[in-house]
Amino acid sequence: MTMQNSAVEADRALKAKHRAMWAQGDYPSVATEVIPELGPVLVEACGVRPGLRVLDVGAGSGNAAIPAALAGADVVASDLTPELFEAGRRVAEKQGAHLTWQEADAEALPFGDAEFDTVLSCVGVMFAPHHQQAADELVRVCRPGGTIGLLSWTPQGFIGRMFAAMKPYAPPPPPGAQPPPLWGDEDHVRALLGDRVTDISAERRAVRIDRFATPEMFRDYFKERYGPTISVYKNIAGEPDRSAALDGALVDLARDADQGTGSGGTVLEWEYLLFTARRAG
């Protein structure tokens, strides 16, 4: 096997692993029950309107793609994990949204150059392992003058800290892979896109999460439904002491971040970066 063929096979295996990670659990319920407002926030920031052709990269079950379609745009929802589409189709049908669902690798999008007026991703493309390749694809498929919009968890925010808490229990990342929350760092995203974009707007915001009565309920919800958390627990399944330590680390994270003031429930603020830019040219 040549070095090039070996690299292709390694990438194919990595993408298969990522697809399987997101297919397990129930990410669509996380999107609809915990963070439903994030997609509409991104769609509004991108100025999506009737007549625009929009691509949602890492669309999952359509948290941003469906609001974009309801805004009147011609939308393609793309994701590496098509198992997530069925839940999205049900939501779209219920809401009267019409859009196209297409399996796609964010690092090798099956679309033409400058094919879309708006290219967006709501906590999606940030999980592609090779950030520069994914960023290059976002730019390539966006027309000159078009909008690129990203909503990503920050390294310093709650989800970024959750990934840091899970890291000691996770298998080592593959060569060249970068941590997802780096997409929530403005300087990192600016470096990825470079001088290929103009009119940059970058703002840190937070979404209020108050659906978990206790820190333990947060932990158990993510253990059951969130693919990356499920994968980390599977990695240490035969090590009860480490599993218990991770249990404690996630509870401590939620307890430390709890902003509840005697309301009887856990109140969390999950920080994200809202980033929009216009493709130069």
167: which residues sit within 8 A by CB, 6+ positions away? none
Do the strands 197-209 and 268-279 form a parallel or antiparallel pair, or are they unpaired?
antiparallel
Predicted local distance difference test score (pLDDT) of residue 100: 98
Torsion (CA) 129, 131, 134, 140 in degrees, nearest 10? -170
- Per the model's pLDDT, the better-predicted residue between 4 and 45 turns out to be 45
Q: Supply the mean pLDDT for the chain.
A: 96
Pairing of strands 142-153, 116-122: parallel
Region 122-136 average pLDDT: 98
> pLDDT at position 200, please?
98
pLDDT reading at 1 higher than 60: no
Does position 248 have pLDDT exceeding 60, yes or no?
yes
Helix axes 215-225, 240-257, angle to 10 degrees: 130
Q: Where are the domains of the chain?
A: 3-206+271-279
Compute φ and ψ for 78, nearest 5 degrees: -120, 145
Q: Which amino acid is at 108?
A: A
Distances (CA, A) of 166 to 50, 177, 219, 256: 42, 16, 12, 16
Name the pLDDT band for 31 (thresholds 50, 70, 90).
Answer: very high
Query: In Å, how far from its chain's centre is CA 201?
Result: 19
Q: Indicate the pLDDT class of residue 262, thresholds 50, 70 and 90.
A: low
CATH topology of domain 3-206+271-279: Rossmann fold (3.40.50)
At residue 121, the pLDDT reads 98
Taking the CA atoms of 248, 251, 252 and 253 in sequence, report the sign of the dihedral they define: positive
